[in-house]
Structure 1
Amino acid sequence: MLNKKYLFSLGILDIFGFENFQQNSFEQLCINYANENLQQFFVHHIFKLEQEEYNNEHINWKHIAFEDNQRILDLIAIKSMNIIALIDEESRFPKGTDRSLCDKLHANHSKNDNFIPRKTDNIISFGIRHFAGNVYYDCENFLEKNRDTFSQDLMKLLQETKSKFLRNLFLNEFQIGTETRKRAPSLGTQFKKSLDSLMNILSSCQPFFIRCIKPNEYKTPNNFDRALVCRQLRYSGMMETISIRRKGYPIRHLFRDFVDRYRLLAPGVGPSHCEMDCRLAADKICKTVLINQDYQIGKTKVFLKVS
């Protein structure tokens, strides 16, 4: 990880899965944005870095197409005038409303392929074509939730309470002025900042991925919904992952490590420190025990298929 004290640590990240209800609000947008980030992290490690290494090592390799959700992340939170930025902007306007927010989102993104416009102007909603499917969001209460303001009536009630515990619990809120509270980061900004920090930590780790597939929507035993399972396998990138594992070379060793580990399989190959050219020694071992399609010799490593 980032700090040396975490070098021999193991972390487990478990978050809410992708959410798509009959009515989706600001909370679902945040949760689904987090899932889009984790999907991009998965895509980056399983496909982008994998194929980049093959190219760098000059491995003969047939490119495998995969779904890249980067454009969805650009729409939600990265490119200028993204959805979260527009929500923040409208939240700062005293006269901003959920309808004015919805109008602004459509004005900026109606032509984006991943943005689903409302059917009529009377509806204050929008949709996003997420990697896991289309989700329609109801804009009602978006601004209130994003502002995350402490009710003045509730503040007054707590200030006047006879409970010493409650007064001490919200002491910091009492001391913060109204103007300072207005300038506090929005909920969307805080969420994005926390998520960016999490992704930076994950990027410095060696990740292992566990995909949980639901057999049915009702959490009932002995009920296998084939269509639902196939849909989850497709949108999670599992089909492409299986393909890249079958067609690729998931096992790889540096020449020196490979020679020290497998030299006994080939007569005449000594320890790596005794070999003048570990690349030639590794190639000799492979030719002795493997057939050509099961391995390739790169610039610095031996690449092996899974038998």
Structure 2
Amino acid sequence: IIDNENHVEPVADEALLTVAKLIGCNVDALQLALSTKKMKVRNDTIVQKLTLPQAMDARDALAKSIYSCLFDWLVEQINKSLGVGKRRTGRSISILDIYGFESFDRNSFEQFCINYANERLQQHFNRHLFKLEQEEYIQDGIDWTKVDFDDNQACLNLFEKKPLGLLSLLDEESTFPNATDLTFANKLKQHLKSNPCFRGEHEKAFTVAHYAGEVTYDTTGFLEKNRDLMHLDSIQLLSSCSSRLPQIFASALLSQSDKPVVGPLYKSGGADSQKLSVATKFKGQLFQLMQRLENTTPHFIRCIKPNNMQSPGMYEQGLVLQQLRCCGVLEVVRISRSGFPTRMTHQKFARRYGFLLLESVTSRDPLSVSVAILHQFNILPDMYQVGYTKLFFRTGQVGALEDTRNRTLHGILRVQSCFRGHKARCYIKEFKKGVATIQSFIRGEKTRKEFAVLLRRHRAAVTIQKHIKSKITRKRFSEVTDATTVIQSVIRGWLVRKCSGNIGLLNWGDKKGNESEVLVKASYLAELQRRVLKAEAALREKEEENEILYQRLRQYENRWSEYELKMKSMEEVWQKQMRSLQSSLSIAKKSLAVEDSARNSDASVNASEDYSGETGGNTANTHESNGTRRRPMSAGLSVISRLAEEFDQRKQVFGDDAKFLVEVKSGQVEASLDPDRELRRLKQMFEAWKKDYGARLRETKVILNKLDNEERVGDKLRRKWWTRRNSTRIL
């Protein structure tokens, strides 16, 4: 808002509110700082309202100051974060991106400063590439033709000369309150008209002959842009902000504004108390940059514009050639072609390539070694120069030496690697051999200890089994002996009683009969005694057969007990137990069949001998008794055959189920079941069947023993019946 006196007052619009919010200040304070200026006169403070141009300059100055301080702060933070390696090693790599030479239709104060900076950088470039290099050639005493190049020192003197340089006259004119851009231009034309790099133009313009060409500048706005328009009110505004960054910026601006100008910048005295101008600050920063570049090893990258239209695929030859000429690239190419870009000290060259010599040099000084290397590799004399301290090579000459050096080092490394590999393999081989020896000793000792423990356990088990088996055998033998003694006593008593009865009959017959009858009875008694002896012999045979049967029965019982122990201790080998059980059943079946056939043959022999003279009724009774005797034996054989068939069936079923579960667990067959759970269930079923089958087998064994006892009782009854019948015949 502009009042009648051309004073302004900022409107509290969205832009002003946003700025106040970002920097953290009051809106009223921001409005006051942009529209007024405080001046201190002696002890009084006067507040002056600003006109529209002054307010716009104050606004732009505040924005530029904030931007400049923010940029400096960011660069400082980045340098701090990247300065860790520099603090540790003292070395760093920096990148300087400088704006290029500018020449427009209207060039102002910004182009003036940019082109001045480019002049200074171009001088550094020329000094680094041309002056220093040629000076080094001359100092080292090599044959060298000096290359002429354009020097821009006259243009730099136009800018920096005191007190009649462009920058000095600009700062001097900026201090006069009534000075204008036109008076500044006239002063330049008055004082610098004799300078060959300066030419005055009409009104406010002047021309400077830069290294890249002539540029015409318009002095409009030079004085205002050069003055430091950052008022103290704006600095106080930044210091009163709530944000931290504006406060840092305010302290930096205050420290800069307190620095006086160094040296007599102006004609009039008292300039030491003046504040630094923009041009003076720019010049000081540029000198600091150049000082830092002087302490480093620079590498230059020149950027060339192919066209002014900023369009791809368009190449303007004249523009590119002008840029190459202005940047000094053509002189660089010319001096590089005629110069020696590769240089190396005698010591470094001898140290780097000395091992490539085929013959040892008598004099071991670096210069002799270097010359010998050059002669050995047939490097032409035009391609190198030998200086006092260094060797200078033209482009591409060191490449052959580097290739030979790399090949030789590669061969050396191959030989070293092969030798080290051989040593490492030998070491590993010996190490593995030692490890294997230690492992064999340890495993042998461990195995011997385990074998000793197992041997002691085996011997203890054998001893325990021997004692138990001997005890069981003695007990059974004593039982059999006692039973045999009882049977023998009963039979002998029966025979004695029988013989006593026959003698009584003979005595009674002697009293009643005659002598002829006594003779007949005596002969019959002899026959009877013969038959008794025969019966005793048959009885002894039966006893021997009975003893054999008892031995077989004990064998069967021992085998059965062994099978039960094996089935309890080794469930995983149940198939072997089945085969053992099957073999035991087949042996029992065969033995019973053999016994039955033997009994039948004995019975038939006795029947033929004893009953040859009997009647048909007696023959029928004999056949009936034999039939009744065969029926229990055939029933026993049928039970055993059923058990054998059941054993074969169960064996096949369990074997198939176990094979199927093993295939499922190994992944050969896919099935939706848990093989471990099914295997445990199959093991439980096998245990249940094994227990039931053992019980039935024991029952069958008891039945067979019972049948054997009944057969013995029947034999006794038959013998008794036969004895009575014979006695009846005698009577």
Q: Report the TM-score, using the length of structure 1 for normalisation.
A: 0.87
| Structure 1 residues 293 and 175, CA gap change in structure 2 (3 angstroms) | closer
SS at the partner of 2:206? Answer: strand
Deviation of 1:104 after TM superposition, in Å, equals 1.1
Aligned counterpart, 1:268:
359
Aligned counterpart, 2:124:
41
Compare relative contact order (CA 8 Å, sep 6+) and give the higher one, 1 or 2: 1
Aligned counterpart, 1:116:
199
Aligned counterpart, 2:140:
57
| Structure 1 residues 5 and 144, CA gap change in structure 2 (3 angstroms) | farther
| Structure 1 residues 43 and 260, CA gap change in structure 2 (3 angstroms) | same
Aligned counterpart, 1:255:
346
**Aligned partner letter, 2:382:** Q
Deviation of 1:138 after TM superposition, in Å, equals 0.5
In 2, Cα distance between the equivalents of 1:179 and 1:253? 50
Contact kept? 2:350, 2:369, Cα under 8 Å:
yes
| Structure 1 residues 212 and 298, CA gap change in structure 2 (3 angstroms) | same
In 2, Cα distance between the equivalents of 1:77 and 1:211? 26
Q: How does 1:158-307 map to 2 (within 5 A)?
A: 183-269=274-360, 276-288=364-376, 289-307=378-396
SS at the partner of 2:306? Answer: coil
SS at the partner of 2:296? Answer: coil
Contact kept? 2:163, 2:169, Cα under 8 Å:
no
In 1, Cα distance between the equivalents of 2:379 and 2:128? 28
**Aligned partner letter, 1:11:** S
In 2, Cα distance between the equivalents of 1:45 and 1:174? 36
In 1, Cα distance between the equivalents of 2:196 and 2:101? 20
Aligned counterpart, 1:81:
164
| Structure 1 residues 222 and 124, CA gap change in structure 2 (3 angstroms) | same
In 2, Cα distance between the equivalents of 1:180 and 1:298? 50
**Aligned partner letter, 2:326:** Y
Contact kept? 1:216, 1:228, Cα under 8 Å:
yes
**Aligned partner letter, 1:277:** D
In 1, Cα distance between the equivalents of 2:259 and 2:339? 56
| Structure 1 residues 195 and 168, CA gap change in structure 2 (3 angstroms) | closer
Deviation digits for residues 243-295 of structure 1 (CA, Å, limit 9, x no counterpart)? 1111111101110110121224433246xxx9542112212222333001000
Deviation digits for residues 96-152 of structure 1 (CA, Å, limit 9, x no counterpart)? 22111111111111121111221x3xx111111111111111001111111121368
In 2, Cα distance between the equivalents of 1:132 and 1:33? 12
Which of 96, 100, 113 in structure 1 is aligned with 2:183? 100
Deviation of 1:95 after TM superposition, in Å, equals 1.9
Deviation of 1:171 after TM superposition, in Å, equals 5.8
Deviation digits for residues 136-186 of structure 1 (CA, Å, limit 9, x no counterpart)? 11001111111121368xx48x96xx986699688669989x999982200
Any stretches of 5+ residues in structure 2 without a counterpart?
A: 1-85, 261-272, 397-731
SS at the partner of 1:296? Answer: strand
Mark the structure with the bigger radius of gyration. Answer: 2
Which of 102, 105, 114 in structure 2 is aligned with 1:31? 114
| Structure 1 residues 278 and 24, CA gap change in structure 2 (3 angstroms) | same
Contact kept? 2:189, 2:200, Cα under 8 Å:
yes
Contact kept? 2:342, 2:393, Cα under 8 Å:
yes
In 2, Cα distance between the equivalents of 1:149 and 1:6? 43
Contact kept? 1:286, 1:295, Cα under 8 Å:
no
| Structure 1 residues 305 and 189, CA gap change in structure 2 (3 angstroms) | same
**Aligned partner letter, 1:47:** F
In 1, Cα distance between the equivalents of 2:297 and 2:324? 23
In 2, Cα distance between the equivalents of 1:164 and 1:45? 49
In 2, Cα distance between the equivalents of 1:255 and 1:218? 52
SS at the partner of 1:15? Answer: coil
Contact kept? 1:117, 1:127, Cα under 8 Å:
yes
SS at the partner of 1:218? Answer: coil
SS at the partner of 2:146? Answer: coil
Which of 129, 133, 145 in structure 1 is aligned with 2:209? 129
Matched, 1:9 2:92: yes
In 2, Cα distance between the equivalents of 1:58 and 1:173? 52
Which of 202, 222, 226 in structure 2 is aligned with 1:142? 222
Moved more, 261-270 or 297-306: 261-270
Deviation of 1:226 after TM superposition, in Å, equals 0.4
Percent identity over paired residues = 39
**Aligned partner letter, 2:180:** T
Aligned counterpart, 1:67:
150
Which structure has more helix as a fraction of its residues?
A: 2
| Structure 1 residues 265 and 179, CA gap change in structure 2 (3 angstroms) | closer
In 1, Cα distance between the equivalents of 2:115 and 2:317? 24
Contact kept? 2:162, 2:168, Cα under 8 Å:
no
**Aligned partner letter, 2:152:** N
In 1, Cα distance between the equivalents of 2:349 and 2:320? 39
Deviation digits for residues 18-58 of structure 1 (CA, Å, limit 9, x no counterpart)? 11111111111111111111101100000000000000001
In 2, Cα distance between the equivalents of 1:215 and 1:193? 34
Contact kept? 1:263, 1:269, Cα under 8 Å:
no
CA RMSD after TM alignment = 2.9
Aligned counterpart, 2:508:
none
| Structure 1 residues 66 and 86, CA gap change in structure 2 (3 angstroms) | same
In 2, Cα distance between the equivalents of 1:60 and 1:278? 21
Any stretches of 5+ residues in structure 1 without a counterpart?
A: none
| Structure 1 residues 264 and 138, CA gap change in structure 2 (3 angstroms) | same
In 1, Cα distance between the equivalents of 2:150 and 2:335? 13
Q: Report the TM-score, using the length of structure 2 for normalisation.
A: 0.38
SS at the partner of 1:229? Answer: helix
Moved more, 64-73 or 279-288: 279-288
In 2, Cα distance between the equivalents of 1:58 and 1:171? 57
| Structure 1 residues 151 and 299, CA gap change in structure 2 (3 angstroms) | same
Paired residues, number: 294
In 1, Cα distance between the equivalents of 2:286 and 2:253? 29
